[in-house]
Amino acid sequence: MSIKPAPLSQRVPKRKASAYADTSFEAQKKALASALVSLRLGQGLSQEALAYEAEVERSYVSLIERGQGNPSLRVLCQLAQRLGVSVVEMMGGTLPGYAPQSSGASVFVLQEPDPESLSEPTQASTVARHRDT
């Protein structure tokens, strides 16, 4: 006699969707849509020309520009490369704590924070600051 395991839907509880995450996701899709349209039109490209040069379907570019597509990182990179911007720039902004490399490449590196700014002030550093003022 063999025992059948319970169906997966009964074994794993469903995660509740975060209202904040949903709102943030929709806002990011709209920001991407707006930025993509602006960048494309700024370069005088049609959706068809951008799609052809970025090697994606024109209808998919249209979906993204309407905020209905959910592009993969690969597609975002292909579009950004054709438009001559980084993926972050194409998303309409910059990421805090990140800075472009000096080579001009579209790669971002994490800037290490100053260790002194992370630690709580010690009594010696507080005394030293008061002496300097």
Helix axes 58-65, 73-83, angle to 10 degrees: 90
pLDDT band at 3 (very low <50, low <70, confident <90, very high): confident
Mean pLDDT over 19-24 rounds to 79
What is the signed CA dihedral for 14, 16, 17, 20, rounded to 10 degrees?
-160
Kindly report the CATH number that applies to the domain delimited by 20-100.
Answer: 1.10.260.40
Across all residues in the chain, what is the average pLDDT? 75
- Taking alpha carbons only, the member of 95, 43, 32, 39 closest to residue 67 is 32
Query: Quick check: pTM over 0.75?
Result: no
pLDDT band at 100 (very low <50, low <70, confident <90, very high): very low
